[in-house]
Amino acid sequence: MKISKSLVESLEGMVKQIGYTLRYEKGNFVGGYCMVENRRLVLLNKYLPLEGRGLTLIELLSELNPSPEMLTDEQKKLMSMIKP
């Protein structure tokens, strides 16, 4: 699967759709997800190149394994493509 700007935007939309806040921050990390004071966050390094952002989002979404009821039909298709 080729990582493109539209793919990354779709993945970002999926993260938001399942109830996580997506933030880009600077620091010595790649990315991850966590709970902070009952808020669900996905953090990505703002200096990651486009491909790094896409691959990190794909990995995180695979770990989060969102419920199909939370996703649109287009997002369900995308999840079926990125799941191992």
pLDDT of residue 84: 65
38-77: per-residue pLDDT in tens?
A: 899 999 999 999 999 999 999 999 999 899 999 999 999 9
Q: Can you give the residue ranges of every domain in the chain?
A: 5-82
Judge whether residue 37 has pLDDT over 90. Answer: no
pTM over 0.75: yes
26-36 per-position pLDDT tens digit: 988 888 888 88
3-state SS of the chain is CCCCHHHHHHHHHHHHHCCCEEEEECCCCCEEEEEECCEEEEEEECCCCHHHHHHHHHHHHHHHCCCHHHCCHHHHHHHHHHCC
